[in-house]
Structure 1
Amino acid sequence: MNSILEALYNGRLRPDEMMMPTHPEYQALGRQIAALTEQWKNRLSEEEFRELEQLFDLCGRCEGMHTEAAFAQGFRLGANMLIEVMSQREESVLEFN
């Protein structure tokens, strides 16, 4: 069996591709975005819509960087929590005796 670390290192584990928000409004918001995008596409000239798409792309790149930083920060926080819990493990066990 492969370890999680090996899979992550070898590119077989891609958390960003596996994540699917479970918030009840997520899919509805996606449909609203698609509908509004289509409305703007019909309203604007090709060049104007291309510029709007460039704005969307920049916003997406910016959000991707934020999401990456949030993932890394969350991972570090989780790892630090485990370190703290494990470093106090004996103390906790001794308290119950």
Structure 2
Amino acid sequence: MTYIWYDNTGLAVEVDTIMNKKFSWSWTPYNISNLCSVQNTYDAQNILTHEIGHWFGLDDHYTTEYQENTMYGYGSKNEVKKDTLTIGDVLGLNLIY
């Protein structure tokens, strides 16, 4: 989960990302098999790539047409597809910057 604090001008002044220690985490190096290195865990890189998107101003998407995007608002155990940005995520960043 990511928390962002803004000053009175709208400038982000602090960003914190918290990983829930009640969940089982693993780290999967990029691989072409797209399999989580430890089954039945949340891949930290997968979730953190999504969370860091919030640092850059991207919002969550919750409609299924965006389910392949890194900023899709749901993650699941064994998922590694959010390790990199999709074109939709990049286009969102281009709109901001």
Task: State which structure, 1 or 2, has the greater radius of gyration over its C-alpha atoms.
Answer: 1
Higher relative contact order (CA 8 A, sep 6+): 2
Q: When the two structures are superposed, what TM-score results if normalisation uses the length of structure 1?
A: 0.24
Higher helix share: 1
Q: When the two structures are superposed, what TM-score results if normalisation uses the length of structure 2?
A: 0.24
